[in-house]
Amino acid sequence: MSTLNKFRAIGLAIALLIFIADQWVKKFVVEDLGLDRIGEQYPLLPFFDFTRTNNYGVSLGLFEATSMEMRWILVGVTAIIACVVAVWMFREKLFGDIAALSLVLGGALGNIRDRWLHGYVIDYADLHFGDFRPFLIFNIADAAITIGVVIILARALFMREKPDDGQDAAMPDKSS
């Protein structure tokens, strides 16, 4: 197996692990902890609780699905985006890019499954410092998508490909 194929296999494994972890924790929060109604809480740490909420929209609750048609449109659009991310992941050659895209893919699949089954995404992670909440309530899928996008942006902004030495040698010397 080539190195590139190993990177892609690892990327698929990361996406699968994110998906499984996301779905398992959602099941744990709803079934094992019994947080099946919006607003129910299970305190874990002084600054972190499991607080049940349902997200009918996408990122930050935008584009909220207020009808059955809109629900299925969101499922379709997010599925198309997940397919684009998967194709993009298989076109990349650098492991850092593949890993970042696999985080996005795994998170997207977890949230798509929720929306498909329930009509909303189950959110539960409530980070707070007293009454200050730096984030909306989220889940593992949301965190993976956010981290993946930040990595992609950071790599795009700060990691530049260096030209081959052969290209530099072929360039004419302008000093003569």
Residues 43, 122, 129, CA angle at the centre, nearest 5°?
35
Phi-psi region of 161 (alpha: psi -120 to 50; beta: other; left: phi over 0): beta
- CA pair distance 42, 31, nearest whole angstrom: 13
> Which residues are identified as catalytic?
123, 142
Q: Nearest Cα to 85, choosing from 112, 62, 65, 57?
A: 112
Distance CA(166)–CA(173), nearest Å, equals 14
CA distance 87 to 80: 11
The whole-angstrom separation of Cα 119 and Cα 66 is 10
Contacts of 136 (CB under 8 A, 6+ apart): 60, 61, 123
